Amino acid sequence: MTDHPAPHPARPRLVLASSSPWRRQLLERLTSSFECHSPDIDETPHRDEPPEVLVARLARQKAEKTAIPHAGSIIVGSDQIALHDGSILGKPGHMDAAFDQLSRFSGQHVRFLTALTVIDPAGMARHHTEPFDVYFRHLTAEEINAYLAREHPLDCAGSFRMEGLGITLFERLDGRDPNALIGLPLIALCRLLRESGMDPLLAMP
């Protein structure tokens, strides 16, 4: 009787709890083998909820809701907020509001908080929040208008896109992982994935 080697256990699926094309592109730097699922959650802040608590809660809720129809998978949830003078920044929605935001930021700094929750196949959740500070140059009205006309960042909190021409607005950046600005801190994510049993170098084609 010939002995047959035991089959390798199936690798758990990886599911990104987001519909963001930017997060999807970042995760594709690690692997092409993942699915995307956009959970529907209420993102309204709770009364007197600190920003650090809010962003971590939303990342956790996205991951938890996505885990329900994807049992046995590794789930990645993420959320991001931007702060100026302690206040959460919203998406401008129209050009006048975007101009006002960037005018306020001239010579100032904006802090981004990007939260991660990774849920492993056994249901254990791991969490991380990555801070990143952006320091703006002193901007002229002409520069702001030129930037807005070229980029139209009306759907971006803070009225700029780091992955585009937003880099031209900055004096300096201060943080561990610039990917956090785009919405997915990959250094922290790799650590959480390894702790969840999926090494990006060994188990992710």
Active site residues: 79
Outline where the chain has alpha helix (H). 21-27, 51-67, 95-105, 141-151, 179-182, 186-195
**3-state DSSP helix/strand/coil percent for the chain, to nearest 5?**
30, 25, 45
Find all residues with CB under 8 Å of 197, minimum gap 6, and list them.
12, 74, 120, 121
